[in-house]
Each structure stands twice: as C-alpha cells, then as structure tokens.
Structure 1
Amino acid sequence: MKIWELFIIAVGLSMDAFAIAICKGLSVEKVSKKQQLTIGLYFGGFQALMPLLGYLLGIRFQSLIAGVDHWIAFVLLAVIGINMIYQSFKEEKIGDSFAAKVMIPLALASSIDALAIGVTFAFLQADIVPAISFIGVMTFVISAIGLKLGHVFGAGYKKTAERLGGVVLVFMGVKILLEHLSII
C-alpha cells in the first residue's frame, strides 16, 4: 500500500472523530490543551487499535476468501463510506464531558469502521504496524484540531467532514476493486 493511499484512508477514517470533536468543541466554554490531548488520545488510540483487531481477524480467514478479497474490500469500504454520508444527515447531541465513561463509547463508535479497514488491510497484505501508527497519529491530530475548530467556528464543518470522509472511503474501495480487476 502506497503512503498516499494510507494517508487518504487515515483522513477518511478520522472524519467521524473529527465531527465528534467539533461537536465537543461546541459544547465547552474553553478548549484546553488537556482536552485536546484527551480527545486525541481516545480517538487516535481507538482508530489504531480497531484496524489491528480487524487485521488479526482478516489474517485468520484470508486463505478462505483470497479469491474474493478485493470484492470484500470494495464492499466494506463502500458500505462504511455510504454509512458515513448517511449519518452526516442526522443530528446528534454530544455533551461537554471528557470522562472515560463518555469518551470510550464515542471513540469506540467512531472507530468501528476502522475494524473493517483492518480486515481490508489483511486482504491487501498491508504492513499493519506503520498503517495503524499512521492512522492513530493522523486521527489524534485531526481530533485535537477538530475540538478547537468546533469551539471557534461552530458546527459548519461537521456534516462536510463526515460526507467528505465517506466519499473518500467509497472512492478507495472502487480503486481497490478496479486495480484487482486490472482496469487501472
């Protein structure tokens, strides 16, 4: 997997976390460095952990589905992307707490799609350690920025971020499929 592809996937995956971080930014009176660190660690950590779990699952079953892995990668990315676009049209209320009991479910919910990406990485035989590191760091940075942007600029970026992330993941799925079908 090329670095630019990994970058695009990392940005696409981080858009859910970015959108939630924007909402958190809307709900706080003042954004502190500690809050930015907290949101970055939760979202970045979960976005790194979930693809690793997906990769480990995918490796176990890779031999059983090797002939259709490109179709599975395409379907997973397309479904995740379309779901992100769909979810961007819904309104959600996110509170101002940064406690673990609030952040863990948010981080888990925003990283479920990364589990499927990890399965895709297994099928593509991607080098998982650099991939999850890149995704985790990218999500950390984007989440911390999202918290500040939400506080400063408001909700204008939330829907756009989710939609853009969804479109990016759909296009990556199409690219993988077209490459495996030798069209590109």
Structure 2
Amino acid sequence: MSTDAFAAAVGKGAALHKPPLREALRTGLIFGVIETITPLIGWVIGLAASQYVSQWDHWIAFTLLSCLGVHMIWAGMGEPEQADELKQTHSFWLLAVTAVATSLDALAVGVTLAFVDVSIFWAAIAIGLATTVMVTIGVMLGRTIGTIIGKRAEIVGGLVLIVVGVAVLFDHLSAATGQ
C-alpha cells in the first residue's frame, strides 16, 4: 500500500530545494498518520456500507491525484526560480490532501478487514509505520532527483502523481471486470 505514497513522496521531494531530513520525516509522519487513520475509518464504514465505498474510492483517488499532478506540472512550467527562492517545505494541507489521495486503498483495506477476524488496530499501525518509512525515503530520494534536474522536477513529480492516479483507477476497474 505504501508504493503510491512513496511515488508521491519522490515527486514532493524533487519539487523542493534540498529538503532537510526533518522535512522528509515531517512528510513521512503526515502520510503515516493519515495512512493509519484511513483503514480505521474504512473499517467503520465497512461495518455500515462497504459496497458504496468500493464503488467510488478509485475515482476519488484518480481525481485527487490527477488534479494535484496537473497543479504541479503547471507550477513546474513557470519560470525557474533561483535556488534560494525555492521552498524547502510543502504546506501541511498540500501534504495532507496528497496523503488522503494515496491512502484510499488503505480505506478499502479497512472496509475489507471489517469482514474478517483481524485486529484492525495492529493492521492500521503496521500500514502507518510502513508508509512513514517509505515516504521519508521517497522524499530523500526525490531530493537527489530534484538536485539533478532542478525546477523541472516538479513536472516529473506531477506526472508521477497522474500515473499513480491512473494506475489506481486501472487496477480497480480491471479487478471489477475480472481481468
């Protein structure tokens, strides 16, 4: 489940000017906490109405990730900024929206876990910890990529988010048709 969050984190790290480790950890924690909460929410929803969530989660993830990706591409096509003008952090809300978009699969897992005898608490903790580690690594990897290709890394990051959104949509639609 952490792979889409990892890909988004690489894009986020690439869009920043040499993000420090503390920014990578901050981003990892934001994603990790949201990834911990979403299966719990999914579990509660699963107890009530699982068919409604599974019918729309992939469309919501696709839309959010595509919109964020287009926004990043648009920003990356602007004039390149001087290195000292580039930001070193993303806003909490931008990271939270991205984390929610990449955590909808964890929500779906929570819905599924409502129907089996599994401790949702421990499953959610494991999902959150794995995501925290993967996102922290992703931001630091993105830092290296951003250093190599500069401001245009934001375009690459936007494209990555769109590809992740399309992959989520494709996976769900192909699973629904049995292919």
TM range (shorter): 0.5 to 0.7
Match of 2:48 in 1: 61
2:75 equivalent to 1:87? no
2:145 equivalent to 1:153? yes
Aligned 8 A contact 1:75 1:173 in 2: no
Match of 2:32 in 1: 44
RMSD, matched Cα:
3.3
Residue 84 of structure 1 and its aligned partner are, at CA, apart by 1.4
Aligned 8 A contact 1:53 1:115 in 2: no
Residue 121 of structure 1 aligns to which amino acid in structure 2?
V
* Matched ranges for 1:100-139 at <5 A: 102-103=91-92, 105-113=93-101, 116-125=104-113, 127=118, 128-129=120-121, 131-139=123-131
Residue 45 of structure 1 and its aligned partner are, at CA, apart by 1.9
Residue 59 of structure 1 aligns to which amino acid in structure 2?
G
Deviations 1:54-97 (A, max 9, x none): 332x13423xxx6xx1x641422133124313431223588324
Match of 2:17 in 1: 27
Structure 2 CA distance for partners of 1:147 and 1:12, relative to 1, 3 Å: closer
Distance 1:147 1:133 in 2: 21
Residue 44 of structure 1 and its aligned partner are, at CA, apart by 1.6
Deviations 1:92-141 (A, max 9, x none): 5883248xxx43x2442223336644553344336544553443234323
* Matched ranges for 1:64-79 at <5 A: 69=51, 72-79=53-60
Aligned 8 A contact 1:18 1:158 in 2: yes
Gap regions ≥5 residues in structure 1? 1-8
Residue 166 of structure 1 and its aligned partner are, at CA, apart by 0.9
Structure 2 CA distance for partners of 1:37 and 1:116, relative to 1, 3 Å: closer
Match of 2:4 in 1: 12
**Percent identity at matched positions?**
17
Match of 2:161 in 1: 162
Residue 164 of structure 1 aligns to which amino acid in structure 2?
V
Residue 162 of structure 1 and its aligned partner are, at CA, apart by 0.7
Deviations 1:13-72 (A, max 9, x none): 44444433332xx223x633x33333222222222223322332x13423xxx6xx1x64
Aligned positions, number: 157
The 3-state SS of whatever aligns with 1:36 is helix
Structure 2 CA distance for partners of 1:139 and 1:125, relative to 1, 3 Å: closer
